[in-house]
Amino acid sequence: MKIADNHTLDLLIEGCIQNEHAAQKAIYQLYASKMFAVCLRYGKTKMVAEELLQTGFVKVFRSMAGYRKEGSFEGWIRRVMVNAAIEYYRQAAKIRETKELTPDLDLQDNYGSGLDNLAMEDLLALVAGLPDGYRMVFNMYAIEGYSHKEIAEKLGITEGGSKSQLSRARALLQRAIYKREEVEYARFEK
Partner 1 sequence: MQDLKNNAQNNRQGGGEKNTPHPFDLELRRVLAEAEIQPEDELMDKMFARLEKTEESTAGKQSGFIHAKKQPALARVLKLGTKWSYAAAAVIILIALAIGIKETGKKNTVILPPEGLIALNPSGNPAIAGQKGESAPVSRDNIKGVKTGTPNAAATAQAKLNGPATDNEKAMASKATTPKADNLNRSAEKNADLAKGTLKNVPGTAVATVKATKRPANQTNSATAAFNDKSLTTGLLPGKTQKIEAEKAGAKTEGQLAETKKELATALNAAVKAPEQLTQPVITSSIDVESITAKDYNQTVLSDQKAAGHRHRKKSGGFFRGLVQKITNGARSISEDVVTQDEDKTVINIGIVAITAYK
| Nearest-approach distance from CB 30 to partner 1, in angstroms | 11
Q: How far apart (Å, rounded) are the C-alpha atoms in residues 112 and 16?
A: 45
Q: Which residues bind partner 1 (CB under 8 A)?
A: 1, 19, 21, 24-25, 28-29, 32-34, 36-37, 40-41, 50, 53-54, 57-58, 61-62, 71-72, 74-75, 78, 108, 111, 113, 115-116, 118, 120-121, 123-124, 141-150, 159, 163, 166-167, 170, 173-174
Q: How far apart (Å, rounded) are the C-alpha atoms in residues 185 and 94?
A: 38
Question: Is the CB of 62 or the CB of 96 nearer to partner 1?
Answer: 62
| Nearest-approach distance from CB 66 to partner 1, in angstroms | 15
| Nearest-approach distance from CB 190 to partner 1, in angstroms | 27
58 in Cβ contact with 64 (< 8 Å): no
User: What is the DSSP track for 52-97?
Assistant: HHHHHHHHHHHTGGG--SSS-HHHHHHHHHHHHHHHHHHHH--PPP
